[in-house]
Chain A
């Protein structure tokens, strides 16, 4: 090629154009791009698996299956699937003891109950329920001292669990039950917020939870005679599921409240700024407090709102909760007799960045009642549009409480699922923001082996209160966070 044919100008111009274009488009391309995998971790708290989930596992820590056990356990599997599902109930006994399994076929839209004592006799049975084939909720029911308690099982393990409303006063036994369902051991530290401040008993540090087994820790042995006991379970290695059982034998020290029954709580995974406790009644003279535990290093103030069924309102009570302490707030005392109510606990300050807390309800029927009972439940911090209620006992009367924690009015409907398909629906109810409505299960025609689904057009919080001659229990319903999402 001759020298004259190659011109410098166009070359420089072309390169400049390319560079400028690259710079311009590179700027435009600097918009954040989604890179990498978004992995959907399963929360440890109870929640229905997504409808396309292959399997869902539920972990029920507390419960016994010996004649003299402290909490006779029954596992309830409530299917909301349209086809038959298989649920494998595996009891992990720890050590070299082989696991015991039974596969239960659950009819569409029905419940199946497995009384653990029928499966295996064990003092420390840790239960895993693996559901294959569709959506189902798993709860477990324990019975002792003429009382019952119920709570959804956990969907996963966590490194941290929190409980707020406990006591080790005379007449009360408290057990923290730690369950490690995985293949390697967990090492756990327990911290207590008590009347005497923060306590970390040496015996309850570095507690080894062997793989595929559970450990029950009698708190009163290390922390006797504490009126208020909030617990933080932290796994320094591995992950665990933590339940707490409180057994009341009807005795009490002078000046203290005497209670009888059993209460069961699944811990909260983390403190939060807002808790909704959609259960509470004074229809049989029940009393109730809400324990608010501040596990953080700074003091906080929480508003405790008691919301009555209907149009009645009660002024919110502000409670100061110092750092690393727990406060019991009487809520039933502020409620008129024969009322149903829900409680909202909101931690906030002027800046809106108050330390989060944990709130847990502790209700009881007085010893003077026909059938004394005790119940506890940690609040719910995340509303959902669909909730599943597993009906635990045919003899109990149940009340479903729907709380609207949002800012918009919602419409809620109860669906009593039919085995043959479809459901019997209640009349829709509107619930204003910050208000609550309740449904009597007897009135909506709930059957003992049926499954109740609560659906609202905006997120709500649903709880159930069971009362009856066999005892009383309060529990959160099982949310379906995937409803309306997928």
Chain B
């Protein structure tokens, strides 16, 4: 082997004797030159050199090509590998340029081993690669790359690509090397991290195309080698550890994503044949657009830009592109089709898209790293007394929720079962809501939230529902802790506030009563109010002047609005409750001062509520354009609670004990003991509590015949207010002990502390039940057998009873009779947050009122056009009880109906079958067709005179007889019915409220809602809004500087190394550690 031009000034032979040393059998070993390309090598570089030095290949020469390191690495190389040659390029050259330089420099070598400066080949690696190159007559051979950190982890065993050049390793992140990929095989390409290239092939190919690097030079080289007929192999027996230090290098060293994409596309454009490109390029552009949308949705605008620009930026380099392409195609000896088997399919492409764009492997690694870090941090914190208390609390929550965890959450109230994520998202995307008799009102974003949450848990929607229900209590407690911490300034008292909020019976009663909205309100309320307080500057103790907050979180209002929007999506009235809560600070201002901050808080809450309405667009339009329907907003209850019950939070089966008085006693202590800012916050807490109680009590007293919110909504405010006061009280107590200034206040505080323990006893007692006194199942579960019957004809179930025991969100008639219509089953989450009542829905009201007043005994016939097949009359929430609230007289009313047959059912539920039922989609043929009232003015009279119980269901593609097709949806001109030949049927209004169509001949019938595009348009607007929110969110993120983060890490490590005994001794101080 000789140097082409001899070692020039920049090429240094470190040890001439190395070349002079005689080697046995030299002729039997083709000379190999290892070309190590480096630039600013890290401390691992010595390992790389050592690895090369340790090779058992007899004729291996090392050439280090330095691409412009700031420090000359020659000394380091000399120390580790005296026989190596060094070539300093003196410029910021990439790998391709450096390798090409080696190609020009080296002569006589049979193979070149190209490698990065962060790889360490195991001793036989070079020999194995050379042997395999000979044995398989390969042009390029790559080794198996394993992780330098953990050599048991596989990184790469060659690469495949899809049709668009995206690499695919087939290796899962963190996959262990169990020799599962240890077979020599053809691959599309191997990376430049380490590749053995036949020197003559590299020369024939003209070296690397420098325009494709960094990023795609290896793909380009291997592809051209393939086109030239050379084989590209991987020989996994040759192991090379790879440090993958690119991420650790300076950001400027890394190529940006648009450049990477551009180079990848460039390789495609140069390597594919023209015929292939004719179809591939347009498809690639479309796929890139889809990718871009996905990237935008997942918050990666740079990637989105890269996906698009990758295709179009190459147009700027047409000349060089053409030259490269000519050179590549000149080599072509095989067709694209021959290479196809080395490429991956389109489905893999989709998975790869997700992996690529969601950074699955990176993320998993990051998650792993962070998890380890977090675990370390958590294990530190676990030893703290606060953690012990909180863990005890969480343990009690888990014990109290064990039936939910081991079984399931009962389908009561609005805790109905969640259907699959896809179905929920379908319901969200649909322009037609299936609640009531159907409505074109916008679907609630709750469906999207639950759908995404369920999908995010890989379709385990039941788990998602359980997580929400079980997690609400601890989440609320954490929120209260975070709220209280800056106010009381001590961690321990803040923890008291959090735990006291968590043990309040409000959430347990919300669970026991199946009230999803109030439960979410309980969980989110502290976070929302905390943000309001911080933004308003109420949390700062700044003296009487009460200036504007000195520091405002960037984007704080946006985050608050998003939080409010999430709460509102689950409970529409939540924004108003937040405003009321903020308004309570204004009410408290005469006593607690802080006028300006209080008004600011109110203003911020109002703005956040309005912003939330914008974020939830177009859902609020459903309420704006409909008649006033308070029940659809949650005003469906008539709580029958006395003052004592309210003060004890006895709105349900939990907390019904005198021990709850302890809460009030404990919360009143700071009013006597606290001073200054703490007294102010104790006062605000109490005013908030009074406002919360008043929200329940005043409507009940002033307008007992009106409907109000679920009591848990107002009681959440009361619970939170008391917990703040208690946190303040605990801080006063701690300070008293700390300062050793004992007086009458300390005994009072101790009394308060004892009183405080009482509600916790109640919490412990309730946890014994295992499901917070909720029934073991709901009627929705009992009647779930109906869910499978829709295939024989769609139907509805009419539930009549008090709002408290009905599933979903009932309509409530003025006399208190509530009803719910569920479709094709016993009710599911896709029917949550029903649309406000429309005109057609009032037909149901009237039918029920007529039956209730004894003015008809043909209720079944009145309900038949609506497809009501069963009428359920629950008096409890489920078979196990739960809110025993029968509606007087309704059994007699329904028993007296001529077309309802009472079925056998469990105690607590009376179930009737409607003998006059007709399927939701049906055809009245023959003589019955003439009976269908078309254009009737009075829907009730129209239904009364017609018996269509023999109507034929419209099912799937089954042909239906000619007649009048009835679709039990509220009449809307946008509904169309299409027959089997694609002909649109004549649309009429049947029974005065529903859609009817004239079917003139036997045919299958399908239904379409024509205004779906409007829904998509609205959702497009909504998407734009949320994209803006995402963009703004990222822009306003506050990142700690790296120094701060590393400082925090160091502190954690120091803590971890600390003596545990010293930690234990520090526990006492922990409680009054100022935070």
Contacts and interface: CB of A to CB of B under 8 A. Distances in A.
Interface of A: 1-8, 10-12, 14-15, 18, 22-23, 25-26, 29-30, 33-42, 49-50, 52-55, 57, 86, 128, 130, 132, 156-157, 181-184, 211, 238-239
B805 to A, nearest CB: 12
B895 A182 contact: yes
A1 B593 contact: yes
A34 B705 contact: yes
Contacts of A5: 544, 593
B888 A50 contact: no
A3 B592 CA distance: 10
Interface in B137-187: none
Contact of B890 (A39, A49, A52): A39
Contact of A156 (B690, B701, B887, B896): B896
Contacts of B817: 37
Given A1-B542, A3-B677, A5-B593, A35 B704 contact: yes
Interface in B187-223: none
Interface in B878-901: 887-890, 892-893, 895-901
A387 B596 CA distance: 74
A2 B701 contact: no
User: By CB atoms of chain B within 10 A, which of A25, A49, A55 has the most?
Assistant: A55
A25 B701 contact: yes
Given A2-B676, A39-B890, A53-B854, 20 more contacts: A1-B546, A6-B592, A6-B593, A6-B680, A8-B671, A12-B671, A15-B671, A34-B705, A35-B640, A37-B815, A37-B887, A40-B889, A41-B896, A52-B855, A54-B944, A55-B855, A57-B858, A183-B915, A238-B902, A239-B896
A38 B705 contact: no
10 contacts: A1-B677, A6-B677, A36-B815, A39-B889, A40-B889, A53-B856, A183-B899, A183-B901, A184-B901, A211-B901
Contacts of A130: 858
Nearest to B643: A26
B845 interface: no
B852 interface: yes
A50 B676 contact: no
Contacts of A128: 898
Contacts of B350: none
Nearest to B893: A39
Nearest to A1: B593
B299 interface: no
Contact of A239 (B544, B895, B945): B895
Nearest to A15: B686
Interface string B359-371: 0000000000000
Interface of B: 541-544, 546, 590-594, 638, 640, 642-643, 671-672, 675-677, 679-680, 683, 686, 690, 693, 697, 700-701, 704-705, 802, 813, 815-817, 850, 852-858, 887-890, 892-893, 895-903, 913, 915, 940-941, 944-945
Nearest to A59: B898
A181 B900 CA distance: 11
A57 B857 CA distance: 7
A48 B853 CA distance: 14
Contacts of B680: 1, 6
Contact of A1 (B544, B643, B853, B940): B544
B1007 to A, nearest CB: 31
B855 A53 contact: yes
Contacts of A39: 852-854, 887-890, 892-893
Contacts of A184: 901-903
B854 A36 contact: no
Contacts of B892: 39, 41
B901 A6 contact: no
A8 B683 CA distance: 9
A2 B543 contact: yes
Contacts of A54: 850, 855-856, 940-941, 944
B591 A11 contact: yes
B587 to A, nearest CB: 10
A38 B701 contact: no
Nearest to A159: B895
Contacts of B546: 1
B218 to A, nearest CB: 66
Contact of A11 (B679, B852, B856, B915): B679
B467 to A, nearest CB: 36
Contacts of A37: 813, 815-817, 852, 887-890
Nearest to A23: B643
6 cross-chain pairs, A with B, having the tightest CB-CB distances, nearest first: A183-B901, A39-B889, A3-B676, A26-B643, A33-B704, A29-B701
Contacts of A49: 855
A42 B593 contact: no
Contacts of A86: 945
B541 A1 contact: yes
B857 A18 contact: no
A44 to B, nearest CB: 9
Contacts of A18: 690
A12 B679 CA distance: 11
B977 to A, nearest CB: 31
Contact of A36 (B677, B679, B853, B888): B888
Contact of A6 (B643, B672, B676): B676
A353 B906 CA distance: 38
A53 B899 CA distance: 18
Contacts of A14: 591
B820 to A, nearest CB: 15
A36 B802 contact: yes
B889 A41 contact: yes
A35 B686 CA distance: 31
User: By CB atoms of chain B within 10 A, which of A11, A22, A29, A34 has the most?
Assistant: A11
Contacts of A6: 591-593, 675-677, 679-680, 683
A36 B817 CA distance: 7
A157 B889 contact: no
A268 to B, nearest CB: 18
Contact of B856 (A7, A55, A239): A55
Nearest to A52: B855
B888 A38 contact: yes
Nearest to B591: A11
Nearest to A88: B945
A29 B700 contact: yes
B544 A2 contact: yes
A34 B816 CA distance: 10
Contacts of A8: 671-672, 675, 679
Contact of A10 (B591, B594, B676, B857): B591
A318 to B, nearest CB: 37
A55 B854 contact: no
A8 B671 CA distance: 7
B1016 to A, nearest CB: 43
A7 B676 CA distance: 8
A360 B774 CA distance: 53
A182 B896 CA distance: 8
User: By CB atoms of chain B within 10 A, which of A18, A33, A39 has the most?
Assistant: A39
Contacts of B542: 1
Nearest to A181: B898
User: By CB atoms of chain A within 10 A, which of B642, B701, B857 has the most?
Assistant: B857
Contacts of A34: 704-705
B53 to A, nearest CB: 72
A40 B895 contact: no
Given A29-B700, A183-B899, A132 B888 contact: no
A22 B671 CA distance: 20
Contact of A35 (B672, B816, B889): B816
Nearest to B697: A22
A40 B854 contact: yes
Given A1-B544, A157-B896, A41 B901 contact: no
Nearest to B885: A36
A7 B816 CA distance: 46
Contacts of B594: 1
A396 to B, nearest CB: 32
Given A3-B676, A18-B690, A26-B643, A38 B815 contact: yes
